[in-house]
Amino acid sequence: MKLKRLMSSACALALMVSMIGAPALTGKDLVGNAVTASAASELNATDLHVNIYAVDYSNNKTLLSSLDVYAKVKDYKNKTRYMFTSDKIIFDSTKVKDIEFEYSIPNLLSDQQVDFNGYLQYHFYNADYDAAGAGIGKDDVQHISPEQPTSVYTWKTPFASDPHDYTLMSLSGQILNFNPYEYVPPTTPVNTAAVTISDVVYTGKAKTPAAKVVLDGKTLKKGVDYTIDYRNNTSVGRATATINGIGNYRGKKTASFYILPAQTKIKTLKSTKTKSVTLTWTRDNQVAGYTVQIALDKNFTSSVKKFNISKNSTVSKKVNGLKKGKTYYARVQGYKKVGSKNLQATWSKVLKVKCK
């Protein structure tokens, strides 16, 4: 999940909750002396709400307190604290296994996430023995977002083996690093998408053919789900297209397509000597060589002769040993080998000539 900080993590805040109707957080409460009012307003003066439950050994929960968080004045260290303290809670230690704290932010907006961590401290009293004790423990970082609207911290009671009732005289928490973020919804990677791009023909200009991108049976939309970048997409050869996920998608997927040679331009087909013809064409610098065909029919199925020209600088072919008085048809095709793939142009137009 990509997070953009709106408040500095250096802003160590604590939160205080009271059973008595506590005021909601205000922009000023959130700002303190550490961040700007504009940054705090992004949180929209969000409340933090805490439900406290007692959990028995069958994992049944009983609501003990439902509290709203507000800011406390500066303490003896002259630091602004955000803390909470419950009213006295009496429970049977043989029945209560854990105490669970459920945090939520009722006014969280759809584009917000809040992370915070803090401390819990308890003071308990045993009426039978007139004894008191205290303990402290640190909770993990809590996350609250539209997809995770509540965050739960479970405090393990340390005296379950002592069969007496206890009064929880005070149970307080100090929450630090209360940081709002811009919420970015989880996204789906596009690296497993099936990408189909048709080959194109060389024109001398950059080629940007459309791509069909299918992921999990869904055809993605360009500009909504992805953008596309092209490389090596002007000359004859192998070009690449990189699919970049946007919106609900992330990551990249690279696919390739081929730029094929343009149709070779045939110039002349002449018979100036007995039983021979000569074919000429225009040089193509985008190909490695040419294939020439001569036949007795325009469909090139009868008495076909095929010749390979390995240099693109060669632009003519003389064919001897033909039949006098017969009409011959000729065509030429440029090619270029890229890796194991032979890229071929479409055949040129067909010329014919009567052999002398």
- Name the residue range of residue 227's domain: 188-260
Where among 260, 278, 296 does a domain terminate?
Answer: 260
Which of 46, 43, 27, 159 lies closest to 103 in space, CA to CA? 46
Where among 200, 225, 260 does a domain terminate?
Answer: 260
d(CA 12, CA 175): 8
Q: Quick one: 171 and 216 in the same domain?
A: no
β-sheet bridge partners, residue 148: 145
Q: Radius of gyration over alpha carbons of the chain, in Å?
A: 40
d(CA 88, CA 102): 18
Point out the least confidently predicted range of 87-96, 196-205, 330-339. 87-96
Q: Quick one: 101 and 56 in the same domain?
A: yes
Q: Quick one: 112 and 174 in the same domain?
A: yes
Res 328: pLDDT: 97
Res 316: pLDDT: 97
The dihedral of CA 88, 94, 95, 98: what is its sign? Answer: positive
**Is the model's pLDDT at 123 over the cut of 60?**
no
Counting the structural domains of the chain, the total is 3
Write the CA distances from 348 to 68, 337, 339, integer angstroms: 82, 19, 25
Q: Quick one: 196 and 319 in the same domain?
A: no
For residue 93, what pLDDT band results from cuts at 50, 70 and 90?
low
**Is the model's pLDDT at 229 over the cut of 60?**
yes
Q: Quick one: 211 and 166 in the same domain?
A: no
d(CA 188, CA 217): 13
Average pLDDT (65-69) is 72
Where among 260, 287, 309 does a domain terminate?
Answer: 260
Q: Quick one: 68 and 177 in the same domain?
A: yes
- Amino acid (1-letter code) at residue 2: K
Res 150: pLDDT: 82
What percent of the chain has pLDDT above 90?
46
**CB under 8 Å to 8, separation ≥6 — which residues?**
34, 35, 179
Residue 290 in contact with residue 313, Cβ under 8 Å?
no
Average pLDDT (80-88) is 54
State pLDDT tens for residues 7-44: 222 232 223 222 223 333 333 332 222 222 233 333 44
